[in-house]
């Protein structure tokens, strides 16, 4: 039996043994998560120290513990710990105070950046585009090929590896923390061995209690996604709105005032131009939908797209 087939069977057995068929639904954009999606990244899917699986069955309760210690019988957290190193720190999966990744112009970046060549399409005007730093940092997990726990600088002294900054990562280095599978998101077919072996598209939803991660996996072929790394059209271009404000050399943005706020859709300055990137529309830390203490806007968006409001920020149609 192949290794990935054995792993898939083991995961399904563990899920089936500890998770029932009934689920507790949270926000519509993330229905199988018990995360509150309020106040802090700690309470969101981007807290990778633990599992925000829904409470399946009477024996399981929603987990929102930053340390990720969980509780005996929490099979969802047990599975999460099999999939990646449990570093016990929320921020370390992306950031480090020292020894950040110099291969990408991102703030103290700690995660592996893929060296994959992404497939893109040309716009109607023939303009070329390719993901810039503010998109590559997101694709480092969401293209599905890089291990979720693949970081350069682990917590504690002497746990740094410069060689871990490109590609899938140095597995031997990752094993020095604990022996796990170091899974990327992967894909449904198991071509890239990863989370989506079970969290994929199946006839039963959720399959064996495992919700689909398809929406979280963009892949390396970006032709079915909004272009990123593309220069925003010049002022006066038909069908495009003009950003009202500019933080010179950093961002142009659509906002109510000259202060760049988390909720402002922005164009990121890169390679001498203002460009659309993943972070133009998304904030990975979450943006409160109605002020402090409110639920984050779905899908880590900066602005709710009800009535296409986000789209119409840039597009004048």
What pLDDT score does 30 carry? 62
Q: Report residue 185 CA to chain centroid gap.
A: 10
More confident residue, 207 or 225: 225
Q: In angstroms, how far is the first alpha carbon of the chain from the final one?
A: 55
Q: Say how far apart CA 104 and CA 166 lie, in whole Å.
A: 10
CB 236 within 8 A of CB 261: no
Strand partners for 221? 119
DSSP 8-state assignment for residue 251 = E
Omega into 93 within 30° of 0, i.e. cis? no
More confident residue, 215 or 302: 302
DSSP 8-state assignment for residue 234 = P
What pLDDT score does 103 carry? 87
Give the other-Cβ count within 10 Å of 294's Cβ. Answer: 13
Average pLDDT score over the chain: 80
Q: pTM to 2 decimals?
A: 0.84
- Which residues contact residue 286 at a Cβ distance below 8 angstroms, ignoring those fewer than 6 apart? 37, 40, 41, 44, 46, 296, 297, 300
pLDDT at 60 over 50: no
* CA dihedral of 112, 115, 116, 121, whole degrees rounded to 10: 110
The ranges assigned to domains in the chain are 1-223, 230-314
CB 99 within 8 A of CB 203: no
Give, in order, the Cα–Cα distances in Å from 22 to each of 1, 71, 209, 259, 273: 32, 20, 8, 45, 50
Angle between helices 3-18 and 75-83 (to 10 degrees): 160
- Of the pLDDT bands very low, low, confident and very high (cuts 50, 70, 90), residue 206 is very low
Q: What does the pLDDT average to over 186-207?
A: 68
What pLDDT score does 245 carry? 95
Helix (H, G, I), strand (E, B) or coil at 275: strand
What pLDDT score does 273 carry? 94
Q: What does the pLDDT average to over 269-292?
A: 95
What pLDDT score does 116 carry? 79
More confident residue, 88 or 198: 88
CB 313 within 8 A of CB 265: yes
What pLDDT score does 207 carry? 43
List of long-range contacts for 166-171, beta carbons under 8 Å, 24+ apart? 166/103, 166/112, 166/113, 166/114, 166/115, 167/112, 167/114, 167/115, 168/112, 168/114, 169/112, 171/147
Strand partners for 276? 230
pLDDT in tens, 6-46: 454 444 444 443 333 333 333 445 656 678 889 999 999 89
What pLDDT score does 24 carry? 33
The H-or-E segment that residue 112 falls in is none
Q: Say how far apart CA 130 and CA 153 lie, in whole Å.
A: 28
pLDDT in tens, 226-277: 999 999 999 889 999 999 999 999 999 999 899 999 999 999 999 999 999 9
């Amino acid at each position: 039996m192949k290794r990935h087939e054995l792993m898939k069977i083991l995961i399904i057995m563990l899920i089936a043994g500890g998770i029932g068929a009934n689920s507790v639904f949270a926000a519509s954009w993330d229905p199988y998560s018990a995360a509150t999606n309020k106040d802090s990244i700690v309470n969101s899917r981007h807290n990778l120290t633990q599992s925000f699986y829904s409470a399946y069955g009477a024996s399981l309760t929603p987990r929102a513990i930053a340390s990720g210690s969980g509780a005996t019988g929490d099979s969802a957290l047990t599975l999460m710990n099999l999939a990646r190193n449990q570093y016990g720190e929320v921020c370390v999966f992306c950031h480090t105070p020292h020894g950040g990744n110099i291969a990408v112009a991102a703030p103290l970046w700690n995660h592996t950046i893929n060296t994959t060549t992404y497939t893109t399409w040309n716009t109607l005007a023939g303009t070329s585009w390719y993901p810039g730093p503010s998109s590559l940092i997101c694709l480092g997990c969401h293209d599905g090929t890089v291990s979720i726990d693949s970081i350069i600088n682990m917590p504690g002294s002497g746990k740094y590896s410069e060689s871990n900054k490109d590609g899938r990562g140095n597995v031997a280095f990752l094993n020095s923390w604990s022996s796990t599978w170091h899974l990327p998101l992967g894909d449904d077919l198991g071509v890239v061995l990863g989370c989506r072996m079970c969290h994929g598209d199946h006839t039963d939803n959720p399959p064996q209690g495992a919700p689909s991660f398809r929406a979280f996996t963009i892949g390396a072929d970006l032709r079915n996604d909004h272009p990123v790394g593309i220069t925003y059209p010049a002022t006066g271009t038909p069908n495009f709105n003009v950003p009202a404000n500019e933080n010179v050399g950093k961002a142009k943005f659509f906002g109510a005032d000259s202060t760049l706020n988390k909720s402002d859709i922005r164009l990121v300055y890169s390679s001498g131009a203002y460009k659309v990137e993943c972070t133009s529309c998304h904030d990975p830390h979450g943006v409160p939908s109605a002020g402090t203490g409110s639920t984050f806007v779905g899908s880590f968006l900066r602005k709710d797209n009800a009535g296409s409001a986000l789209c119409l920020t840039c597009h004048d149609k």
